Amino acid sequence: MQYQGRFPANLIHDGSDEVVELFPNTGKGNGGNPYSYKGKEYDNKDTSMFNGDKPQAPSNFNDSGSASRFFYCAKASKRERNIGCEGIPEKEYVQFQTANGTSGKASSLSEGRNTKYRNIHPTVKPLALMEYLVKLVSREGQVVLDPFMGSGTTGMACKRLGREFIGIEMMPDYMEIAKARIDGVKESKQLEQLNLLKDNK
């Protein structure tokens, strides 16, 4: 390991006893039927996720260990989800529906809930997380490319951190949301101060 320059992206925490002790060890994750990738249906209790011929491979759901292996970050708040989306019309957003509805849980629509949202993207990433990742792989003024832009959180992070951003998205609804959110976010206070200093020179 090199001790000069930037740190590797996989070193999220230091592995210290204080961190590891917060998360107990868990059992193996395979709670359903045995997994098979030999051309059979993938079966996990109550729903089949994959059909067709899959190459023979060991199951990747049979792991065990501590949750300290993962990076925890709170999901985007309602306010953060809707930054800049004030002018976007509300649309139906289906919650709790999975796969083809065979998971046994009713969808939010069938329960009669009011599930209209301006930002209808299902997986809005936390801004703090994307800022962290953007800082890992780029420097101020460099260009960041996101070929699957989604709701535009990476672009928001780039704007706040002084990076150039190119986003690609095939869904028109998501493109509208991403553009509105990027336009609606402000640069970080530190970056604003730096820009003021540059302008006054």
> What local confidence, expressed as pLDDT, does residue 113 receive?
59
Residue 54, CA distances (Å) to 32, 35, 37, 62, 68 in order: 19, 11, 5, 18, 31
> What local confidence, expressed as pLDDT, does residue 40 receive?
42
Q: Where are any strands of DSSP class E within the chain? A: 25-26, 43-44, 47-48, 65-66, 91-92, 116-117, 143-146, 164-167
Residues of the chain falling short of pLDDT 70: 1-16, 19, 23-72, 94-114, 188-201
Q: Which CATH superfamily is domain 127-200 in?
A: Vaccinia Virus protein VP39 (3.40.50.150)
150 contacts 178 by C-beta, under 8 angstroms: yes
Q: What is the mean pLDDT of the chain?
A: 72
List the chain domain ranges.
127-200
> What local confidence, expressed as pLDDT, does residue 124 receive?
93
> What local confidence, expressed as pLDDT, does residue 67 receive?
63
> What local confidence, expressed as pLDDT, does residue 188 receive?
65
20 contacts 68 by C-beta, under 8 angstroms: yes
> What local confidence, expressed as pLDDT, does residue 102 receive?
47
> What local confidence, expressed as pLDDT, does residue 116 receive?
80
Provide the whole-model pTM.
Answer: 0.62
Q: Cα 90 to the chain's mean position, in Å?
A: 22
Using one digit for the tens of pLDDT, what is the confidence trace for 16-53?
A: 677 677 766 665 554 444 444 444 444 444 344 444 44
